[in-house]
Chains A and B, each alone.
Chain A
Amino acid sequence: MAVLVDEKTRVVVHGITGKEGGFHARQCINYGTKVVAGVTPGKGGTLWEGVPVFDTLSRAVRETAANTSLIFVPAPFAADSILEAIEEEVPLIVCITEGIPARDMLQVKAALKCSNSRLIGPNCPGVISPNKAKVGIMPGVIFQEGAVGVISRSGTLTYEIVDHLTRMGLGQSTCVGIGGDPIVGSSFADILQLFAKDPQTRGVVLIGEIGGSAEEEAAGLVKEGYPKPVAAFIAGQSAPAGKRMGHAGAIISGGRGTALEKMRALEEAGIAVAKTPESVAELVRGALS
């Protein structure tokens, strides 16, 4: 099973002829993902490494039955690409782009509300269901198929924790990078609900960080009764207030959004909270054994 992406995933890459888009499209194909189309306005009708390129997403979807958008478009234009994908009713949209203005995301969120599309990201590493499909930029080799669902606001920290999981023989069902921006398409709580219904997933790891209240909302959901064990790690216990820590969304503002208050909320919901990244895997093993 797994969630969001699997063997049936047919990817259209927005910005496939760009440097980044091209590099990662190739990596996704090498992993075994079905990349069926690319979109680059002005290059329609050409082939990119054997993949047909279209001027518009509309045409790409019509001719290739793509069901997943993977967006590498530069930040000033990325929100428009997301809106285009929503308009074409693409069921899953994964946006890797970092640096999209928050104002543009307000419009995207409003459009998502009136649609059946789901957005993952922006400013995220994407989604991978090991051995099935990789729709993102993560290094495929560290992942292993298994029963742990992973949801994270960060990139390399996810690789760190997944690496520990894999080394301990704890494979993953799907790993979802929800993104480090203040406004993202899907929250921890949204993806938790998907994992709850996924038969392959037996436990879930949340990798959060300072800023906002997405972790607290996830804690609220789990507290109401969640069918699977959940473990978590929160980055930024040593972060100062009022400073943006790399990610646009990683900032303690007005004294709120600290790692400590998030850890407390998660613990109160019965979630096992790890003090260090490497102890996450041990908590998961304990919960699943």
Chain B
Amino acid sequence: MNIHEYQAKEILRNYGIKTPRGKTVATPQGAVEAALDLGGEGWVLKAQIHAGGRGKGGGIRKAGSLQEVEKQASSLLGKKLVTPQTGPEGKLVRKLLVEEQISIQAELYAGVILDRSSGQAVLLASGSGGMEIEALAWERPEAICRQSLEPWGELPAHRARRVCFELGVPNEVRPRLQGALQALCRAFYQEDCTLAEINPLVVTTSGEVLALDAKMNLDENAAFRHPAWADLRDPEEEDPVELEAARYGLSYVKLNGTIGCMVNGAGLAMATMDVIKGMGEEPANFLDVGGGVNEEAVAQAFRILMSEPKVKVVLVNIFGGIVRGDVIAKGITSAASKMEVRVPLVVRLAGTHAREGKEILQSSGLRIQVADTMREAAQIAVALGRS
């Protein structure tokens, strides 16, 4: 689960990490009031969207006067912002974070990630703040220092200190940086993050250590122990169809093609998409109905696929294990009989009770083509999609 910069900063402040003073606003008038409130002579306006690369996309603006604050806010709010991470369609800017301008002495990078191969949480830090860490890791891996966290989420003082020395910060700044790094690790762990990143973490001209930006991804699997996450979620930033699918326990990702897919299991669902693509066509979606799929979930999945206007044909690929083919077939026929099915349907059933399932489909009177293998099903779907 993604959250906004202003929310991540609020969390970091709770752990004692300093950030520039700021306010979140939704109108140009609000931006001016925020700037007046914050005082000073310079402000930064930052578009709050769930995508990175905002600087490159023009989503971060400086303003030296209140008139400029209003002008910049007007040119951002209610407009689509395109960044390297939003895709060409961009994301609508609904909120801005207005912050005091900071004079910077040094820009650093600090982030905590899950290191999948070692099964540890790891702090990454670098003196090249502002740069994308992936790019840096690729081009100059030696510029990143890595320190693992203890399994209970602490970064011991000596490891934090070592990072400070490796980054070469002045002695008078070191205790503050060390504290910020340890706090970041604590926040990562206690807030159940899968990523917690401060980029850049800056040293101001007066020697303060401030999180100028913040990014946090939260582990959806841990939502049960964080009731407050319900308020952090911004449904406007998520795809409405994906959200709806999630409510029924379906895992759905919208794609750009014309062949709708309904599959049980994530790996098989991806493989089905790959086979379609290998035949020169594009899948309209990824849809995993899950291991314990029942009639109701099949019906909902169906409705979601049919609601997508781009879909020209639907391919159902089920390998029944615990799930039985006849149950799936009944789910499909009952769902299809209750709605207008405007596109042809290709169904491949294998595994448990596949034969019974095929019989149910073939005698249903619905426009359903039954295939024996995944390849055959994909071939039929591709041909139907082109006709």
Kindly supply a per-residue 1/0 record for chain A positions 132-156, scoring 1 wherever the CB is within 8 Å of any chain B CB and 0 otherwise.
Answer: 0000011101100000000011111
Contacts of A23 in B (CB 8 A): 322
Q: What is the interface of chain A mostly: helix, strand, loop, or mixed? A: loop
Could you list 18 further interchain pairs (A-B, Cβ under 8 angstroms) beyond the known A109-B118, A153-B267, A276-B375?
A: A75-B221, A102-B192, A102-B219, A105-B119, A109-B151, A138-B321, A156-B265, A156-B319, A159-B351, A238-B255, A238-B274, A240-B253, A243-B253, A246-B286, A247-B267, A250-B270, A254-B133, A277-B275
A183 touches B119 (CB 8 A): yes
Contact A156:B264 (CB < 8 A) given known A237-B274, A238-B273:
yes
B22 proximal to A (CB < 8 A): no
A235 proximal to B (CB < 8 A): yes
The residues of B that contact A137 with a CB separation of less than 8 Å are 291, 321-322
Contact A278:B375 (CB < 8 A) given known A153-B267, A212-B117? yes
Which residues of B lie under 8 Å from residue A157 when comparing CB positions? 265, 267-268, 270-271
Chain A's interface size range is 35 or more
Interface residues of A in 141-186 (CB under 8 A from B): 141-142, 152-160, 163, 180, 182-183
Q: Are B320 and A139 in contact (CB under 8 A)?
A: yes
Q: Once bound together, how far apart are the Cα atoms of A20 and B322, in whole Å?
A: 11
Write out the residue numbers on chain B whose beta carbons fall within 8 Å of the beta carbon of A27. Answer: 322
4 A-B pairs with least C-beta separation: A154-B267, A246-B266, A156-B265, A109-B119
A223 at interface by CB-CB < 8 Å: no
B260 at the interface (CB under 8 A from A): no
Neighbouring B residues of A242 by C-beta, 8 Å: 85
- B116 contacts across to A, CB distance below 8 A: 182-183, 212-214, 249
The yes or no answer to B346 lying at the interface (CB within 8 A) is no
Query: Residues of A contacting B157 with CB < 8 Å?
Result: none
Whether B283 sits at the interface, judged by CB under 8 Å, is yes
Enumerate chain A residues within 8 angstroms of B221, measured Cβ to Cβ.
Answer: 75, 99-102, 248
- Residues facing B in A243-283 (CB within 8 A) are 243-250, 254-256, 259, 275-278
- Which chain B residue shows the least CB distance to A109? B119
A179 to chain B, nearest CB (A): 11
B350 in complex: contacting residue of A99, A100, A160, A248, CB < 8 Å: A160
Q: What are the interface flags for A4-36 relative to B under an 8 Å C-beta threshold, 1 for contact and 0 otherwise? A: 000000000000000010011001000000000
* Known interface pairs A103-B219, A156-B319; A235-B277 also in contact (CB < 8 Å): no
Residue contacts A-B, CB under 8 angstroms, 9 given: A109-B118, A152-B267, A237-B274, A240-B253, A244-B253, A245-B253, A246-B270, A247-B267, A254-B137
Q: Does A187 have its Cβ within 8 Å of any Cβ on chain B?
A: yes
B114 and A183 form a contact (CB under 8 A): yes
B374 contacts A by Cβ under 8 Å: yes
CB nearest to B287 among chain A residues = A246
Contacts of B270 in A (CB 8 A): 157, 209-210, 235-236, 238-239, 245-246, 250
A277→B267 CA distance, assembly (Å): 11
Find residues 72-121 in chain A having any chain B CB closer than 8 Å to their own CB: 75-76, 99-103, 105-107, 109-111
Closest to B257 in A: A238
* B364 interface residue (CB < 8 Å to A): no
Is B121 an interface residue, CB under 8 A from the partner? yes
| Complexed CA–CA distance, A236 and B288 (Å) | 13
Beta-carbon contact of B283 and A238 below 8 Å: yes
Determine the residue in chain A with the shortest Cβ distance to B152: A107
Chain A positions within 8 Å of B320 at CB level = 139
Interface centre among B225, B253, B266 (most CB of A within 10 A): B266
- The majority secondary structure among interface residues of chain B is mixed
Contacts of B283 in A (CB 8 A): 238
Closest B-chain residue to A96, C-beta based?
B291
Q: Quick check: is B314 within 8 A (CB to CB) of the other chain?
A: no
B107 → A minimal CB distance (Å):
20
Contacts of B170 in A (CB 8 A): none
* A106 cross-chain contacts in B, Cβ below 8 A: 114, 119-121, 151, 153
Does A217 reach chain B (CB closer than 8 Å)? yes
A207 at the interface (CB under 8 A from B): yes
Q: Indicate the member of B255, B270, B292, B350 with the most A CB atoms within 10 Å.
A: B270
B189 contacts chain A at the CB level, 8 A cutoff: yes
Inter-chain contact A76/B273, CB cutoff 8 Å: no
Verify if B105 is at the interface (C-beta below 8 Å from A). no
Kindly supply a per-residue 1/0 record for chain B positions 245-278, scoring 1 wherever the CB is within 8 Å of any chain A CB and 0 otherwise: 0000001010100000001111111110111111
Contact A158 B119, beta carbon cutoff 8 Å: no
Contact partners of B119 in chain A: CB under 8 A = 105-106, 109-110, 183
B267 touching A254, Cβ below 8 Å: no
Q: Which of B366-387 contact A (CB under 8 A)?
A: 373-375
Asked whether A209 lies within 8 Å of B267 as measured between CB atoms, the reply is yes
Residue of A nearest to B134 (CB): A254
B-side contacts of A278, CB under 8 Å: 373-375
Given A102, A187, A246, A276, which contacts B269 in the complex, CB threshold below 8 Å? A246
Residues of A within 8 A of B375 (CB): 276, 278
Q: Give Cα distance in the complex from A24 to B351, angstroms.
A: 17
Contacts of B267 in A (CB 8 A): 152-158, 180, 207, 209, 235, 246-247
**Chain B minimum-CB-distance residue to A246:** B266
B350–A245 touching, CB < 8 Å: no
Cβ 8 A contact of A155, one of B85, B133, B291, B373? B291
- Indicate whether B131 reaches chain A with its CB closer than 8 angstroms: no
Give every chain A residue within 8 A of B251 (Cβ-Cβ). 245-246
Contact assessment for B114 and A102 in the assembled complex, using a CB-CB cutoff below 8 Å: yes
- For residue B126, give the distance in angstroms from its CB to the closest CB of chain A: 14
Which of B263, B292, B321, B350 gathers the greatest number of chain A CB atoms within 10 Å? B321
B319 to chain A, nearest CB (A): 5
Q: Closest Cβ of chain A: how far from B97's Cβ, in Å?
A: 23
Chain B 220-247 residues near chain A, CB threshold 8 A: 221-222, 224-225
Q: Complex Cα distance A140/B264, Å?
A: 18
B194 an interface residue at 8 Å Cβ cutoff?
Answer: yes
State whether A139 touches B352 (Cβ < 8 A): yes
Mask, B100-129, CB within 8 Å of A = 1, is 000000000000001011111100000000
